[in-house]
Structure 1
Amino acid sequence: MLHAKVKARRKDTLHKLSTALVKEYGVIFIGNVNASALTQTRLAKSVLDASWSAFRTMLQYKCDDAGVWFEEVDEAYSTQTCSCCASRTGPKGVAGLGMRSWRCEVCGTLHDRDVNAAKNILAKGMLSRAVGTGLQGGPTSSSFAAGRGRLAEGISAL
């Protein structure tokens, strides 16, 4: 009984969050985290509890229904690459995972690891849009120009 309540709450929260994001943004890019591979590590319980795959699926079908452009972006090196100068000077390896902030050795910019990764994922997503990949079945460029939600205010994507 308790497990069923937890499952229902998790599902409800994921639905509410994914619906809010789709209503707010006109473009959503996410990193291509391999959740199934992470379930084979010591992080398995956390990954399964977070329901990453279910959340990604919800986002995708809700974006499709709402006409919001959704794309998974290769997130390789997104935490190590400087979002300002594109040099790969960030913390590397298992030891570097504990570093939550770092300073680029080339341009001197101080980065929060997660914010920097998000900026790099956004840049890769926008680049793929500019090149023209991922547009099959998605909104036209004129619907992007018209804007939707925060996209119209100049905040490009999530």
Structure 2
Amino acid sequence: MARQVKRAFRYRFHPTDGQAAELSRVFGCVRLVCNKALKERTRAWYGEQRRISYVQSSAALTQWKKTRELAFLTEVSSVPLQQALRHLQAAFGPLDICWFVSLLCEDTVTPAPATTNAVGLDAGITFLVTLSTGEKIANPKHERRDRTRPAKAQRELSRKAKGSANREKPRRRVAKVHARIADRRRDFLHKLSTRLVRENQTAVIDRWFPSSKLCGACGAVHDRDVNAARNILAAGLAASACGDGVRPQRESSRTGRSSVKQEPRRATAGISRP
């Protein structure tokens, strides 16, 4: 059955030079008002044991705008200034400012088709992950595809003197290259995890689960990674049924307890989709 939920979206915003300047001016005014209001509240409390309300801060803001020193506050919208008084929001940092637009809206979510599929995942080096179905997902290696860009930008940065104006441009270029690599890696992982969750009811993951090419069921020799994923799946399902962890526990050997059927309790190995 479809249900109404609140969904948040965040988008990277690339303003023009004029827009960036206007936003910086607005947030600069917000920072000033926030800090000035906080200073007044602190002084009133520690000096006079008196609380300053929002109404009093708002009235003070009106007076600030009338002074010669702070008359520029009238040149920006009053909405963000009032929000600064309401929340005393933290100031934006002066370095590497990234603009984002956040939206909150109501959306109708339709449940995905029911499935009983289960999959084991073996994280590796040659391949990013191998599934118990036999599928191998290659590592996109985003940093290798863009290796020349960060190397070149880093060399340019290393030749600039620290603290100099000429160092700022290559420093930002290096930051942008690494941010692009991180964004591509995050996008790939989000798409992969979403696909696995939609296709399977249970997913079992273990990076260091002991395995080999020899199949424990039939004795045949299989692909090591695929066999590991299948063993991980089998161990995860068994642990989910018995209530044990996937890895052998030292405590079990000392107490003599084995992985036999126990009273149902929360599984510790599987990641089940609701």
Q: TM-score range by the shorter chain?
A: 0.3 to 0.5
Tell me the TM-score normalized by structure 2. Answer: 0.25
